Amino acid sequence: MDQIEKDLRQEICDIGYKVWLTGMVAANDGNISVRLPNGDVLCTPTGVSKGSLTPEKICKVSIDGEVLAANAPYKPSSEVKVHLRLYQESEKVRSVVHAHPPYGTAFAIAGEPIISKMMPENIIAMPEIPVAPYATPSTYELAESIAPFTHTHSACLMEMHGALAWGDSLLSAYQAMERLEFTCKLTFLTRQLGVDRQLPDDEVEKLIGMRAQYGIC
């Protein structure tokens, strides 16, 4: 095992702890993966709390799902096939984080996409959070419903399920999940206040034009 893999195994554990600590998962929910330079994928094991991960619990699979390394009794999450489909869809996807953040999951249950024009940061980084149509968890149907979004978004809600985020690193995938939850929370709270304010269209266009300077296509 080279140093890159060792470091990524530890980073998965660190991100898992953040996801657990921020209440975006309960019990053993959620899963995390990252693509290695050679194309293989490290992923979290099934049935383990994201708050108690250790590097030796992390599994390794091929891009086609063949188990390459797993220390008993640990085995890859059954939902890793969704992650693998995203890696197959786009070379830009280097990491995937799946969680059940409470506000995001509430909107996922409602089947409601979020289009946010409330804050400059959202317009630049995540102006829309789409909803992938419901499919049974851990199935190829679910993977196929999400794959197209990898070319246009950094996260989505999964109808009646939770949320998925991806990026060019573990940190960027986690931050996309964090922004998704923050946006959903703000949307909920402003509705509770009876507020429906948005930035004007000319300002929205100006902010969209700034995306390139932040490295966002």
pLDDT tens digits, 165-205: 999 999 999 999 999 999 999 999 999 999 888 999 899 88
**3-class DSSP state for residue 155?**
strand
DSSP 147: G
Residue type, 201: D
Strand partners, 167: 95
- Give the contacts of 161 (CB within 8 A, at least 6 positions apart): 100, 105, 108, 134, 137, 142
Residue ranges covered by each domain of the chain: 3-214
**For 87-144, what is each residue's pLDDT tens digit?**
999 999 999 999 999 999 999 999 999 998 889 988 888 999 999 999 999 888 999 9
Helix, strand and coil content of the chain, in percent to the nearest 5, comes to: 45, 15, 40
Q: Fold for domain 3-214?
A: L-fuculose-1-phosphate Aldolase (3.40.225)
Sign of the Cα pseudo-torsion (27, 97, 77, 55, in order): negative
pTM comes to 0.94
Distance in angstroms (rounded) separating the CA atoms of residues 28 and 153: 27
